[in-house]
Amino acid sequence: MSFPKDVLQVLSDNQGRWITETELCESLKASAETVRDLVQVLQESGYQVESCPERGYRLVYQDLLTPEAVTPGLTTRVFGRRDYFYYREIDSTNNRALELAAEGYPEGTVVVAETQTAGRGRRGRSWYSPPRHGIYVSVIFRPQLPMREVPRLSLVIGVAVAETLETSFHLPARIKWPNDILINNRKVAGVLSEVVTGTQGIDYIVTGIGLNINNPLQDFPDDLRTAPTSIMAEMEITVSRVRVLQQLLMHLENRYYQLLEGDFNGILNKGKILSTVLGKEVEYDTRDGLAVGQAVDIDDNGFLLVKDKSGKIHTVTSGEVYLTSPTTGGEAD
Ligand code: BTN
């Protein structure tokens, strides 16, 4: 018996090329009628399968983030290997990952969507999530870390996202503490981590990453607090979202295991090299409102150290920092 996924497999293996109905029937050991029914199911599920009586069928390349497209080229050991949840549309991948984590799904569970109807950003903001242009992915972590070390995970994520863009696409991606990712002072990715604690400390953490990939600049809403960009806008070509996701999951897993193995220093050093705030004047949140100082270092917990005018060092443990220098491009966030 054949299933739609079997037809999809044959079509994907021959992506872009026509396969005659006879060839499909032979490789699936199915009748022409069954093949036609299965192709129709795929078309109704949104796959762009072209059919032509003389030539047969072919799959139009769509760069969807389906498990069939992503997992074959995935080089991770755990992340996305066992549990990969894919949605054409969802409210928020973080919401779904939080539900799955509460149900007991393991570390490395990945939730991906082509579009989000209620994508969430930090501080109650929304995340612009148009279909098929970006990557909207959430990962479940179950680290055995004391609460005070959670910011270390933040740096892990920031480094993994930035180095994905740096190593795979030669883009000068930089981390704006704690983990916004900027290219030439424009935001290309944002991270929302949500920690759930139990009686024993951290129960699980869901980290959601939104990456702008093939978005034309003019499509972004005007009211974004930080000037946005996308990989396509920076490289002037469209790139494979499948490849970006595979690379991202690989870097995330590598850096996360580096943290668990006790080498936070290696991550910290890379994080400092990739930081866009160190050495710059920043505004940062305090209990009494915004204060100004110079970002001088990131400490062993992943906190930002800021020196005020009197030379006193303040540890910024949460919230956001705002670059003030005009040489930074006037980042408005
Ligand atoms: C920010 O910069 O404010 C954080 C943005 C985080 C967006 C991602 S997209 C995938 C995941 N699902 C969500 O609802 N939000 C995160």
* CATH number of the domain within which 319 lies: 2.30.30.100
Indicate if 286 and 170 belong to the same structural domain.
no
Is the domain of 260 the same as that of 286?
A: no
Residue to probe by mutation, ligand 1, list 90, 91, 94, most atoms within 8 Å of CB: 94
Q: Which residues of the chain have pLDDT under 70?
A: 15, 46, 325-333
pLDDT on residue 330: 32
- Domain presence at residue 217: yes
CA of 225 to the centre of ligand 1 (A): 15
Hey, what are 202's tokens? 């951290």
Residues 134 and 191 in one domain: yes
Domain that holds residue 13: 4-60
Give yes or no: residues 90 and 149 share one domain: yes
How far is the centre of ligand 1, averaged over its atoms, from the C-alpha of 296 (Å)?
28
Q: Residues 81, 145: one domain?
A: yes
Residues 17 and 132 in one domain: no
Ligand 1 site, residue 245, Cβ cutoff 6 A: no
Q: What is the pLDDT of residue 224?
A: 84
* Residue 328 placed within a domain: no
Non-local CB neighbours of 198 within 8 Å, separated by 6+ positions:
none
Q: Which amino acid is at 184?
A: N
**3-class DSSP assignment, residue 43:** helix
Q: Which two tokens stand for residue 45?
A: 């599920």
Residue 158 lies in a domain: yes
Q: Tell me, using a 6 A CB cutoff, whether residue 134 lines ligand 1.
A: no
In a domain, 49, yes or no: yes
Peptide bond into 228 cis (omega under 30): no
Q: Is 244 among the domain residues?
A: yes
Atom of ligand 1 nearest to the CA of 187: 2
Residues 119 and 185 in one domain: yes
Three-state DSSP at 20 gives coil
Q: Which pLDDT tens digit goes with each residue over 66-104? A: 998 999 999 999 999 999 999 999 999 999 999 999 999
State residue 333's pLDDT score.
35
pLDDT of residue 46: 67
Residues 241, 182 share a domain: yes
Check residue 332 and give its pLDDT: 30
**pLDDT confidence of residue 147:** 87
- What the block records as the tokens of 196 is 């759930």
Question: Do 35 and 123 belong together in one domain?
Answer: no
Amino acid at 114: E
CATH code at 35?
A: 1.10.10.10
309 in any annotated domain: yes
Is residue 190 within 6 Å of ligand 1 at its C-beta?
Answer: yes
Which structure tokens are listed for 211? 């990456």
Q: How many domains does the chain have?
A: 3
How far CA 208 is from CA of 19, 31, 233, 264, 306, in Å, comes to 39, 44, 23, 21, 27
Domain-located, residue 219: yes
For residue 296, give the nearest of 286, 319, 309 by alpha carbon: 309
According to the model, what pLDDT value does residue 325 have? 60
Q: Check which CATH number belongs to the domain holding 149 and give it.
A: 3.30.930.10
Q: How much is the pLDDT for 295?
A: 96
Sign of the alpha-carbon torsion through 81, 83, 87, 91: negative
**Strand 304-307 relative to strand 186-198: parallel, antiparallel, unpaired?**
unpaired
Residue 153 in domain? yes
